[in-house]
Amino acid sequence: MTTDVERHRLRELRTELGWTQQEMADRIAHLAWMERREHAAVNADMVAKWERGAKGISPRYRELLCRLFGVTPDQLGLKNTPPGADRARPQANDQSLVAMLDNAAGLLDQLGAAGTALAPHMLHAWKEAVTTRRTMLGLLDPSATDPASHARAVTATVADLEQLAERYHALYDTADPAALLTSVAAHVRMAQDALRQDPAADERRRLLRNLAEVGILAGRLAADDLGNAMSGRAYYSLALDAASEVAEDQLTAIAHGHAAQLAATEGMTAAALDQLGAASEHARSIPAIASWLATTEATIHADRGEQAAAREALDCAQTALDQLGGRSAPASFRNPGATQLNAATGRVLLRTGDFGDARDALTAALDDLRSPARRQRVLILVDLAVTELNSSNLPAACSRAAQAANLLRHAPYATGAAHLRTFRDVAARPIGRRALRVLDQYLGDLAA
């Protein structure tokens, strides 16, 4: 007798969309996080087993797959849902929604008095995130979702918005990215609403600068932390428009730089280099930003195998750091110049096969990092893991990768997780089955 697992259309639907098995796994994990604030322990191997019929699909993943492809269980070929599974879903939805509200409400408390103005706009964000959930109809009542009466303040001054922007950046290293993005996205809407009221010239300039600064942060949270490249690109575009409107060279350069990193991550290196070229035009008199842009260019060239260009970009980064005078970067741009340069140097040396010097540069960068810099620490640890792997030091490679995995347990960071998966793929051949099982356990724990 043929089971429902053997009749399903997973492979057909996946290939129609042009996804690899890993891309499908990533999308499931992203959907689980965005809609339920849950980590999904799914990888390419699990998808392959589902498609072969070697592994059954639990009710939890049945629902996620149906939502991912926009089909019913019958259309997907998963008809035999265990009794009681459907009845359990509303409670699970309630729990994940309540958790999301709790996280957001806790963040509002951390933002202080100015954060109370965000609550009505956050209700809009919550509605968008859960419009398909029956529980939302009751929770949309502010008296139900806002027992602390956060929603009473429905307006915010420009000073409030500026204060909130400072708080976002202070919380960036420690707050849950999804909860923080909910507040930041509400902030973006508030700033846009204020601009539509035709404010006075000075107030309008401050609003536009604030919108550019917060738009950049929203792009980083969406693209780098939560893996939503489309949203990230839209936020960067908004930030560029706002910064250009008031001729803010610093924020224009930073927005271009992050847009370049996003393009490079998606394999569009020519577009990334174009963005960096535009950014450099605005950063000529700002040494800290100019150095950061040059290190970004160096890593792009190194990943393309263009070692001479990568080293030339590193020289430019060092020259910018050594430059006396110049304008200061905005307070929100907290990029440690020497640490970033060491990390980029290590990556370039890694690509040229100079593993000893790469280890020294990456270790120096790791030692210099300030304590909360989780995201950059993850990337350096993964590069160190690759360095040790290429040096045939398998225990050290596993140890570095495990350290990165432990950091990723605490909060989603899509860019770091992608780097760690790349290491796992590279390590599959030489690392040995026993060590690989240990690493896979760490990687599995990330999504558990």
* Total Cβ atoms within 10 A of residue 277: 13
Structure tokens at 305: 């195998």
d(CA 390, CA 376): 21
In Å, what is the CA distance from 436 to each residue of 41, 89, 199, 290? Answer: 17, 35, 60, 40
- Determine, yes or no, domain membership for 32: yes
Contact indicator for 194, 207 with CB cutoff of 8 Å: yes
* The pLDDT of residue 160 is above 90: no
- Do 30 and 142 reside in the same domain of the chain? no
Which of the listed residues 231, 247, 263 is the one where a domain comes to its end? 247
What 3-state class would DSSP assign to 135?
coil
* The pLDDT of residue 430 is above 70: no
- The pLDDT tens digits of the residues spanning 301-357 come to 999 999 999 999 999 999 998 887 778 888 888 777 888 999 999 999 999 889 999
Contact indicator for 390, 382 with CB cutoff of 8 Å: no
- Burial zone of 230 (CB within 10 Å; 0-12 exposed, 13-18 middle, 19+ buried): exposed
- Do 16 and 160 reside in the same domain of the chain? no
pLDDT bin (cut points 50, 70, 90) of residue 447 is: very low
- The pLDDT tens digits of the residues spanning 188-215 come to 988 998 999 999 999 999 999 999 999 9
- Do 100 and 75 reside in the same domain of the chain? no
* The pLDDT of residue 283 is above 50: yes
- Do 145 and 233 reside in the same domain of the chain? yes
Query: Which of 390-399, 412-421, 424-433 bottoms out in mean pLDDT, i.e. has the lowest?
Result: 424-433
Q: Over range 233-249, report the average pLDDT.
A: 95
b/e code 67-98 from CB counts within 10 Å (16+ = b)? ebbeeebeebbbeeeeeeeeeeeeeebeebbe
Query: Which of 110-114, 168-172, 285-289 bottoms out in mean pLDDT, i.e. has the lowest?
Result: 110-114
- Do 152 and 120 reside in the same domain of the chain? yes
**Total structural domains within the chain:** 3
Q: Over range 402-407, report the average pLDDT.
A: 85
Range(s) of the domain holding residue 173: 93-247
Structure tokens at 209: 């600068």
Average of per-residue pLDDT values in the chain: 79
- Determine, yes or no, domain membership for 187: yes
- Burial zone of 325 (CB within 10 Å; 0-12 exposed, 13-18 middle, 19+ buried): exposed
Best CA proximity match to 390, nearest among 14, 435, 382, 182: 382
In Å, what is the CA distance from 252 to each residue of 36, 128, 203, 268? Answer: 35, 30, 19, 20
- Burial zone of 302 (CB within 10 Å; 0-12 exposed, 13-18 middle, 19+ buried): buried
- Determine, yes or no, domain membership for 336: no
**CATH code of the domain in which 52 resides:** 1.10.260
- Do 120 and 241 reside in the same domain of the chain? yes
- Do 32 and 139 reside in the same domain of the chain? no
- Determine, yes or no, domain membership for 237: yes
- Do 140 and 51 reside in the same domain of the chain? no
* The pLDDT of residue 153 is above 60: no
